[in-house]
Amino acid sequence: MPRIQLLSPRLANQIAAGEVVERPASLVKELLENSLDAGAGKIEIDIEAGGGKRVRVRDDGCGIGRDDLPLAINRHATSKIATLEDLEAVRTLGFRGEALASIASVSNLTLTSCARGQDAAWRVVAGGSEMTPSVEPAAHPAGTTVDVRDLFFNTPARRKFLRTEKTEFKRIDEVVRRLALSHFQVSFSLRHNGGMLRQYRIAQTDVERERRVAAVLGARFMSAARFIDIERGSVRLWGWIGSPHDSRSQADHQYFFVNGRSVRDRVITHALRQAYRDVIYQARHAACVCFLEVPPDEVDVNVHPTKHEVRFRHSRAVHDFLFSALQRAVAEFSAGAGIAGVVTVGTEVEYAQIAHSTEQTSPARPAPSGQSSLWSSRFRADRVSDRLEQYGDLYRSPPVADVPGPVGIAEAGRPIEESGAGDDSGPPLGYAIAQLKGVYILAENANGLILVDMHAAHERILYEQLKVAYGAAGEGESIVTQPLLVPLSVAVSESEAECVEQNPEQFASRGLVVERSGPQSLIVREVPALLRAGDIAALTRDVVADVAANAHSDSIENATHELLASLACHGSVRANRQLTLAEMNALLRQMENTERSGQCNHGRPTWTQLSMSELDKLFLRGR
């Protein structure tokens, strides 16, 4: 082995650059965060050749004095922290003091700055192999400009891993979008190869902030998004959450910020996913722009050099707060909630009508049922109760028999003779006018035509009623368990077995009485009564794995909800069932008063709106 020796400053900086400067987008992020920490109100970004040839960031921040300029490009030199206490309560975006030194080691860097209140500006040039800075006078207004040329020119192995110019610029664009969303008080302009591509003006009012969000996520998101602002103690969550109807195939429109810092955190993403779990179809993802504010000493931002990750001091409490707040907000997306006219913001963005457009996936038609004769003219809650007998009770004395059904409740509907056309007033989902093929309800509201998948809508109504019934019955009660006649042995990893041994109360609170029986084995003695007919071994492994990885588990709750969803599906009105106008109107009224009724239990839409303008387009009216 060669002898141990100190690395040269240049090589040490290049090693650090491997962590901090992965590609042009990461250096843009570091430079923009420095500008924001300097109190900039205006930032200009100029990019050439996707950032590989040139990146220039100019701001009107506080600037850097002449004596500090050489220090700015030294490793571990920063004005943002001085003691360990500062590091434990970081309030700035950058603080490591590695960015400029790392960038200079793999590029040709010029830093020009004029401190506020000073008449003279100075420039420091460094980069390449020597890394020896030289300071000279310059002409520059108050603020700072960082000009980075020929990124990775001296590290060709790194340069060959860069993607195409278009791809690299797309990543830079995403960095600017994220920072524009988290700093409404700052204006951003982004140019590529001399052409202006993005311009985000300062957003001080609610309308201006909504305009900026719409510019980033699109008018469709903003038209149906719901603003939330929830505070509990020293923790606050605010922002915009997207409608379940506007879910996406990827999580590319999920923007979450902790104390103004864009982060990717599994505690946050898990809470968001759980909040939308039974209103989004299959593997779709919700869209959101959410800001979490917590005391700085309650979150560690010094987890990774790129500062994309954070660690919460009390992650379980943060998760529970996020989940309860988001779930409550998602529940307010009931059918017809917020149907209004067109909301216009300035002249740049005109939000689409909140009603759902024809671009959505059409509701799937249930398969024809040969069992429709089994169903009487009125929904019978006792049929659900009969099916529950097969599974036992999850909680003590659930009032399942009290679950009502909409079919046949004539009082909720408008008399047939009053359902005339052209009435601009009335409930959000309007009044029924017909039934199509025993599957869809056609209704008229102030905006046009409403189409409802009656089975999917009724399924959601029953599902929510069952959840409420069980939740109310379980207040202050423990989950009813059932002992296994023959205890079940389950194989797990050694770390998971240790988790069970150390946290028995975590599992008992979920109705799972389990104990360690060997280095890599468990014995299950009791399970939740409602789930006794399921795959106990698989359920146990899921719960243990969740608790070992995340300190909590939703596997039992998810399994319970799946069973309740199945019961609601069997108990809802079937296709080819003929309803009277009064029964159809009753169903519409219950949809308006039921949480999450815009989607069925599987995440598919239960209704859609065709506005008069959309109907006019179909028939070329006005042309």
Confidence (pLDDT) at 377: 28
Least confident of 10-19, 141-150, 243-252, 517-526: 10-19
- Inform me whether the pLDDT recorded for 365 exceeds 70: no
Least confident of 221-230, 331-340, 427-436, 481-490: 331-340
Q: Identify the structural domains of the chain with CATH numbers, from first to last.
A: 9-198 (3.30.565.10), 206-333 (3.30.230.10), 361-473+568-618 (3.30.1540.20), 481-554 (3.30.1370.100)
Categorize the per-residue pLDDT at 186 as very low, low, confident or very high, splitting at 50, 70 and 90: very high
- Inform me whether the pLDDT recorded for 232 exceeds 90: yes
- Mean pLDDT over residues 463-479, rounded? 65
pLDDT over 90, % of the chain: 48
Confidence (pLDDT) at 25: 95
Confidence (pLDDT) at 538: 87
Of residues 573 and 182, more confidence is placed in 182
Confidence (pLDDT) at 131: 58
CA distances to 87, 257, 315 from 300, rounded to whole Å, are 9, 14, 11
The residue behind tokens 């809802």 is 572
The residue behind tokens 């701001």 is 59
DSSP readout, 222-275? HHH-EEEEEEETTEEEEEEE--GGG-BSSSTTEEEEETTEE---HHHHHHHHHH
Closest to 391 in 3D by CA, of 482, 462, 524, 490: 482
Which structure tokens are listed for 128? 């390449």
Confidence (pLDDT) at 305: 64
The residue behind tokens 């019978």 is 380
- Mean pLDDT over residues 144-154, rounded? 94
The residue behind tokens 């790392």 is 102
- Inform me whether the pLDDT recorded for 136 exceeds 70: yes
- Mean pLDDT over residues 500-528, rounded? 89
The residue behind tokens 């240790």 is 498
- Mean pLDDT over residues 141-148, rounded? 96
Categorize the per-residue pLDDT at 304 as very low, low, confident or very high, splitting at 50, 70 and 90: low
Quote the CA–CA distance of 255 and 291 in Å, as a whole number.
9
Highest mean pLDDT among 63-77, 87-101, 608-622: 608-622
Confidence (pLDDT) at 155: 86
- Inform me whether the pLDDT recorded for 102 exceeds 70: yes
What angle do the packed helices 165-182 and 24-37 form, to 10 degrees? 20
Categorize the per-residue pLDDT at 234 as very low, low, confident or very high, splitting at 50, 70 and 90: very high
Highest mean pLDDT among 40-54, 210-224, 468-482, 558-572: 40-54
User: Which segments within 287-412 are labelled E, that is strand?
Assistant: 288-293, 299-300, 311-312, 344-345, 349-350
Which one-letter amino acid corresponds to residue 428?
P
Confidence (pLDDT) at 569: 79
Closest to 426 in 3D by CA, of 404, 406, 403, 445: 445
Q: What is the DSSP letter of 373?
A: G
Q: Is the distance from CB of 516 to CB of 522 less than 8 angstroms?
A: yes
Categorize the per-residue pLDDT at 95 as very low, low, confident or very high, splitting at 50, 70 and 90: low
| Strands across the sheet containing 288-293 | 226-232, 235-241, 288-293, 254-258, 261-262
Confidence (pLDDT) at 112: 97
Long-range contacts of 358-363 (CB under 8 A, 24+ apart): 358/608, 358/610, 358/614, 360/245, 360/605, 360/608, 361/281, 361/604, 361/605, 362/608, 363/440, 363/451, 363/453, 363/456, 363/604, 363/605, 363/606, 363/607, 363/608
Which one-letter amino acid corresponds to residue 72?
A
- Inform me whether the pLDDT recorded for 376 exceeds 70: no
Categorize the per-residue pLDDT at 126 as very low, low, confident or very high, splitting at 50, 70 and 90: confident
Confidence (pLDDT) at 140: 95
Of residues 365 and 78, more confidence is placed in 78
pLDDT over 70, % of the chain: 79
**CB-CB neighbours of 618 under 10 Å:** 9
Q: What is the dihedral of CA 102, 105, 106, 112, to 10 degrees?
A: 80
- Inform me whether the pLDDT recorded for 205 exceeds 90: yes
Confidence (pLDDT) at 580: 93
Confidence (pLDDT) at 415: 44
- Inform me whether the pLDDT recorded for 597 exceeds 70: yes
Exposure of 312 in the CB half-sphere (CA atoms within 13 A): 23
Q: Is the distance from CB of 511 to CB of 528 less than 8 angstroms?
A: yes
- Inform me whether the pLDDT recorded for 35 exceeds 50: yes
- Inform me whether the pLDDT recorded for 127 exceeds 90: no
The residue behind tokens 């989902």 is 429
- Mean pLDDT over residues 428-457, rounded? 94
pLDDT in tens, 515-566: 999 999 999 999 887 777 778 898 899 888 878 876 667 777 777 777 777 7
- Mean pLDDT over residues 436-457, rounded? 94
Confidence (pLDDT) at 404: 40
Confidence (pLDDT) at 471: 63
Q: Is the distance from CB of 401 to CB of 536 less than 8 angstroms?
A: no
Of residues 198 and 21, more confidence is placed in 198
Count H helices, E strands: the chain?
A: 19, 24
Categorize the per-residue pLDDT at 26 as very low, low, confident or very high, splitting at 50, 70 and 90: very high
pLDDT in tens, 403-430: 344 443 333 444 444 444 444 568 999 9
Q: What is the mean pLDDT of the chain?
A: 80
Categorize the per-residue pLDDT at 479 as very low, low, confident or very high, splitting at 50, 70 and 90: low
Categorize the per-residue pLDDT at 51 as very low, low, confident or very high, splitting at 50, 70 and 90: very high
Quote the CA–CA distance of 589 and 464 in Å, as a whole number.
15
Query: 296 φ, ψ to 5°?
Result: -55, -30
Quote the CA–CA distance of 54 and 33 in Å, as a whole number.
18
Which one-letter amino acid corresponds to residue 129?
S
pTM beyond 0.75, yes or no: no
Q: Is the distance from CB of 40 to CB of 60 less than 8 angstroms?
A: yes
Categorize the per-residue pLDDT at 356 as very low, low, confident or very high, splitting at 50, 70 and 90: very low
Which structure tokens are listed for 365? 């038609």
